[in-house]
Structure 1
C-alpha cells in the first residue's frame, strides 16, 4: 500500500505563503508479523535502516526494572555471525553511523549508511533480531556499562534524579513510577534465563517495525527485506493490559535531597492523558506558551522582568499510557521557593480564566508548523517519525495528519485543558533541595 503524506507548509510569519513537502511511503507486513515501511528519496546517496521494538522501561520482567534499557546495550554485544565488539566497528568501517535509544514505551535502533551499503544495514538488524548472543559474559559487561551510566547520568549528575522524582509522585501502580534505566539491584538479581525469556517475549518481528528510508529502489529493497527478515520466526503475541492509576484528588508534597546541587529547585507536576489524546497536543502548546523562548510567559516574567528565577521550564512528558506535565524553576538570589510557586500559579490561573491573544496563538501555530517540517527534513528524521507513528500510535498516516490536529486546536481548547488538568488538588509539589551534612 502506497500512501502519499503531505507534509504541509511551515509559515515563518503570520500570513506568509508556505510550501508543501510530499513524502511517499510504502507499508506492508511480512508473514511473520514484521511491519515494514519504505520511504524513497533519491536526492542524496544515503539510506537509513531502523527497527523500533514495542518494548520500553514500563515492560518489567518478574517485577524487575530496567530490562529494555539494558537490552539497548546488550544487543550490540554480538550475534552468532558477528563477533563480540564487532557490531559497531563494522558500521563505522563502512562509512556508517548508528545509535539506539530506549524510552518507557519503545526501543529504537538505527543506522545511516551510504546507499550502496543498504544490504549491510539490513543484515545487521536481522542479525540483532534473529540470533544475538545473550550470555553471562555479555550480561556482566553491559551490567557494568549500565551502572556507570546510572552514576554518570543520574546519581552523580546535578538534578539527575528530577524525572525519577516526578514519576514516583505521579504514579503509584503503573511502571511509569520507576526510572527507565531501572534499579541496579534488579539487574544484579536478574538471571541469564530471565534475560533470554525477555528477549524471546519482546524482540520478535511481530513486535517490531522496520523502516528503510532514503536512496533505495522499492522493489529491490522488498526482496532484500524478505531475504533477511522473512526467515525469522514469529514470536508469541505480546499481552499488555493497562495498569490503571487512581486519580490524584489531593495535593501531594514531596522533598528530595540531591548532594550534587547547590541551588534548590521547585517543581509542580500533574498526571495527564497519554500521547494519543488530542489534549496531549494542547499541553504541548501550553508548554511552548509558558516557557519556550525569551518572550514566553514564565521566562519573560520570572527570568527577565522580575529577576526571580535563574531558569524556568514547562515540560509535557509524552508517554503511551498516561502523560505527565511538569513546571520546574530555579530561584535567583534570595527568592523563596514559595514565591516561585505563587508566581507560577498566577500564570496558570491566567490560562484558566483568560483566552490567549490572537497574536500569541498565531505565534504558537507558526512554532508548531516549523517544528513539524524540521522533524521530517532528513531521511533519518522521517524514518523515526514513521516508526513512532506506527508503533506507538498505531497509525502511520499521522505523519500526514498530526499537523492538522495541532491546527485544529483553538484558544478555547487551551483554556479548557488548563482548567481540566492543571488543578491545584491534582498535582505534586516537589521541593528538590541540596543535601547538607545534617540531612540523613
Structure 2
C-alpha cells in the first residue's frame, strides 16, 4: 500500500487505523455512563488523631492492611538523604517484644505476606492476611510504631545493606542512573530532585542518632492513616483499631515545609552512556501539576492527554512513530498526579535499530505540536476517558488496589471525596481542556530530555606528523575561552 504522500504503509497499519476509527465511532455513540462511586469506603478517626478507612470486599476471607505515614524522602533534613527509606528497612528489625527479623516470620507463619515502600511523600507498610488474623497484624504494626529497638549493632549493618541495594538497583543499572540524573536536573530546588534511596556519600554517613531522630519525629498515630480493604467493615474494625493503634498517644508533628521550584529557563539535556546498553532510549520529563498543587486546573486533562498521546497501541505516538513511520519499537507516556507538590509527565521512546534519536525526538515533538495546533477530536477524547474508566474498574475489583489508591491520596493532601469523584471529573474533561493542558505543560522550559546510549567508540588516534614537519601551535587558553564562534 502507498499513502497519499508517497510513503509506503503496511496492511496492518491500515487495519489498525480502521479499527481505531471504529472504536472512536462506537464510543461516541454510547450513552454517557451514570455516576458510580469508586470504592465506597467508610471512615472514622481515633481519639489520638489516626484516620481509619475501610473498603469492604467480601469476595474472599482475606484483607489488605496498610499503614501510611505522611513522611517521605522529601521531608528529610538537608544533607541526610536516604533516612526515610533507611527507617523503612529498620522497621523490620525488631522491637522490645518482637525479636529482630521476627515480624515478617510471624506474618509468614500465619499464611500472610508483608512488605513496605517509600516515596518522596509517604512511607507505607502492608500485610495481606486472612481476615481472622487481622488483629495479630494490627498488634504487630502498632508495636513497631512506637517501640522500635535501635542500636549501632542494628543500624550500621543495615546501612551497608542499603548501600549495596543502591549499587545493584541504581549504580549498576544505566536506565536508573539516567532517571536519577534527569530528576536532579528537573528539580533544581525542590527535594524531589534527590533520590529516594539517597546519595551514596550521604547514606554512608547516616548514624543511629539520625534515624532515631527521624523515627521519633514523624512516626506517630496522628501522622498515620490506616486503610483496610477486604472481608471486614467499619463496625468490626473499629474496636480492633481502638484496642491497638488507639492506645498510642498522639504527639506534635512538624509541618511539612519544602522549598518550591523557581521558573526554569533554557533547555536541559542529560546523556548517560554505558557499554552494557543494548537498546538506546529517549526520555523526556515535564514538570507537571499534582492534584494538591494544580493552580490552573490541568491535572485531570493531563491524564486524558497521556492516554491520547501515549497510552498504548491505539495512542498517537504508537500509531505514528511505531506503525506509520517505523522510527520506534515502542513509544508511550505516563502521568500520575498523586504527589504532594509536583508531578511529572513522562514520555519514553525506544528507537528502531539505525534510527537517529534526533529524528525520533522530532517526530514526538511534531505529535505534541499537532495536538496544540489542531486539538483532539471529541470522539478520541471520549475513547481515552472510557479506557481510563475501565482501568479504574479493575482497581476496584482487587484488594490491594483500593488500599493503595486511598492511602496514597490521603497521604498527599486529597480527600476521600476527591477519590470517589474521580470518574465524574475525568468524564467532565473536554477536548479543549486537553489541548490547553498540552500547550501549558508540554513546553521546552518545563522539560528535561534524557538520552541513554551505548558507550561511544574511542576517537581515532591522530596520525603523527612526518619527520621535519612543524609542530602545531597550541591555541591560547584565554582566546579559546572567549571564542564565541
In 1, Cα distance between equivalents of 2:233 and 2:321: 54
Q: Secondary structure at the match of 2:79?
A: coil
In 2, Cα distance between equivalents of 1:411 and 1:70: 45
Matched, 1:369 2:385: no
Change (3 A) 1:27 1:349: same
What is the total number of aligned residue pairs between the two structures? 428
- Cα drift, residue 401 of structure 1: 0.7
Match of 2:440 in 1: 420
- Cα drift, residue 183 of structure 1: 1.2
Q: Secondary structure at the match of 1:237?
A: coil
Match of 1:46 in 2: 62
- Cα drift, residue 367 of structure 1: 0.8
- Farther-moved stretch of structure 1 (190-199 vs 290-299): 290-299
In 2, Cα distance between equivalents of 1:261 and 1:404: 44
- Cα drift, residue 260 of structure 1: 3.3
Match of 1:308 in 2: 327
Match of 1:9 in 2: none
Choose which of 272, 280, 286 in structure 2 pairs with 1:264: 280
Matched, 1:57 2:73: yes
Change (3 A) 1:60 1:258: farther
What's the RMSD between the two structures over aligned residues?
2.2
Runs of 5+ in structure 2 lacking a partner?
Answer: 1-25, 460-485
In 2, Cα distance between equivalents of 1:200 and 1:246: 32
Change (3 A) 1:281 1:166: farther
Match of 2:17 in 1: none
- Farther-moved stretch of structure 1 (364-373 vs 62-71): 62-71
Change (3 A) 1:295 1:74: same
Match of 2:368 in 1: 348
> Does the Cα contact within 8 Å between 1:47 and 1:118 map onto a contact in 2?
yes
Q: Secondary structure at the match of 1:65?
A: coil
Match of 1:183 in 2: 199
> Does the Cα contact within 8 Å between 2:75 and 2:256 map onto a contact in 1?
no
Q: Secondary structure at the match of 1:109?
A: strand
> Does the Cα contact within 8 Å between 1:50 and 1:109 map onto a contact in 2?
yes
- Farther-moved stretch of structure 1 (339-348 vs 216-225): 216-225
Q: Secondary structure at the match of 2:244?
A: helix
> Does the Cα contact within 8 Å between 2:42 and 2:53 map onto a contact in 1?
yes
Kindly report which structure 2 residues correspond to 1:137-286, keeping only aligned pairs within 5 A, or say none: 137-216=153-232, 218-276=234-292, 277=294, 278-286=297-305
Matched, 1:378 2:398: yes
Spell out, residue by residue over 1:34-86, the C-alpha distance to the aligned partner (whole angstroms, 9 max, x if none): 11122333342112211011111212134211111222221111111111111
In 2, Cα distance between equivalents of 1:360 and 1:67: 45
In 2, Cα distance between equivalents of 1:208 and 1:353: 46
> Does the Cα contact within 8 Å between 2:121 and 2:411 map onto a contact in 1?
no
In 2, Cα distance between equivalents of 1:124 and 1:376: 28
Choose which of 83, 98, 116 in structure 1 pairs with 2:132: 116
Choose which of 451, 469, 472 in structure 2 pairs with 1:431: 451
TM-score (norm 2): 0.83
In terms of fraction of residues, the more strand-rich structure is 1
Spell out, residue by residue over 1:105-128, the C-alpha distance to the aligned partner (whole angstroms, 9 max, x if none): 111111111111110111121012
Match of 1:93 in 2: 109
Change (3 A) 1:155 1:146: same
In 2, Cα distance between equivalents of 1:317 and 1:438: 41
Spell out, residue by residue over 1:232-270, the C-alpha distance to the aligned partner (whole angstroms, 9 max, x if none): 121322222231211123222332333431333223322
- Farther-moved stretch of structure 1 (168-177 vs 419-428): 419-428
Match of 1:287 in 2: 306
Matched, 1:335 2:355: yes
Choose which of 318, 328, 339 in structure 2 pairs with 1:299: 318
In 2, Cα distance between equivalents of 1:244 and 1:399: 26
Runs of 5+ in structure 1 lacking a partner?
Answer: 1-11
Query: Which protein is bigger by CA-based radius of gyration?
Result: 2
- Cα drift, residue 285 of structure 1: 1.9
In 1, Cα distance between equivalents of 2:105 and 2:321: 49
Match of 1:5 in 2: none
Q: Secondary structure at the match of 1:160?
A: helix
Match of 1:27 in 2: 43
- Cα drift, residue 400 of structure 1: 1.1
In 1, Cα distance between equivalents of 2:254 and 2:275: 41
- Cα drift, residue 424 of structure 1: 2.6
